[in-house]
Amino acid sequence: MCPRKRKPPVTPPAANPDGWAGFTRRAFIKTWSAGTLTLAVGHNAMSSETAQPDETLAADEPVQLTLDVNGRPHAVLVEPRWTLLHVLREELGLTAAKSGCERGECGACTVLIDDLPRYACLTLALEAEGRRIETAEGLMDGGQLGQVQASFMKEDGLQCGYCTPGQIMAAEGLLRQNPEPTFDEIRRGMSGNLCRCGAYASIFSAVADAATHRKG
């Protein structure tokens, strides 16, 4: 175990699920390029670029944290610079979330964080502590597919399957926010996820099918 000097975990108020997202990509790149990771405490501070960090961590000095993934706590030792995607795939062996671009362009890594679709490649593992993280594995009930997964299967909302777990999490997030989306809302809700095989039309059918069956 490595020594740690980090004190309080980052826990922005759950009442404002969007607040934490104020950790902007710009700020991320700024801190990243500095070679160290600036960790600010409190979501208001995080959402402001002029925030004064009260603590600085070396990007590659491991820290211990606990991630709530699919309803189970996972104690992991991570480098502060590690993305949530890296930790899910390489440390926890949860490989449904895929690595496609590592820069928030394709959505293959989409997971739910507190019910909202997020790119795990743009989320540091540190940022996700204290949050409810869900991956496609977490939609399963034993060997039973979740409704969105079953609808993707039935409507063939996939081809190679690589972007599929990310598409499914985007759809799951959309339907949790908006259980009865219109066609246009489905289109927009799924527009953050690329599918190079081009299965979009089947994905629309799958999401619409899932919405119908979730109601029942």
In angstroms, the Cα distances linking 57 to 78, 81, 144, 151, 179 are: 12, 9, 42, 44, 41
Give 100: exposed, middle or buried? Use CB within 10 Å, 0-12, 13-18, 19+: buried
CA–CA separation, 211 and 209 (whole Å): 5
User: 98 in the Ramachandran plot: left (φ > 0), alpha (ψ -120 to 50) or beta?
Assistant: beta
Q: Between residues 56 and 202, which has the closer beta carbon with respect to other proteins?
A: 202
Residues 187-206 that bind other proteins (CB under 8 A): 187-188, 190-191, 193-204
- The piece of 1-9, 44-52, 125-133, 144-152 that touches other proteins (CB under 8 A) is 144-152
Joined tokens for residue 140: 């399963």
Report if residue 93 touches other proteins, rule: CB under 8 A. Answer: yes
Residues 44-63 that bind other proteins (CB under 8 A): 60
- The piece of 6-14, 19-27, 46-54, 153-161 that touches other proteins (CB under 8 A) is 153-161
Looking only at the bridges linking them, the beta strands covering 63-69 and 132-134 are: parallel
Q: What mask of x and - would describe binding to other proteins in positions 164 to 183, judged by CB under 8 A?
A: xx--x--------------x
Binding-site ranges for other proteins (CB under 8 A)? 60, 79, 81-82, 86, 89-90, 93-103, 105-106, 108, 135-137, 140, 145, 149-150, 152-154, 156, 158-165, 168, 183, 187-188, 190-191, 193-204
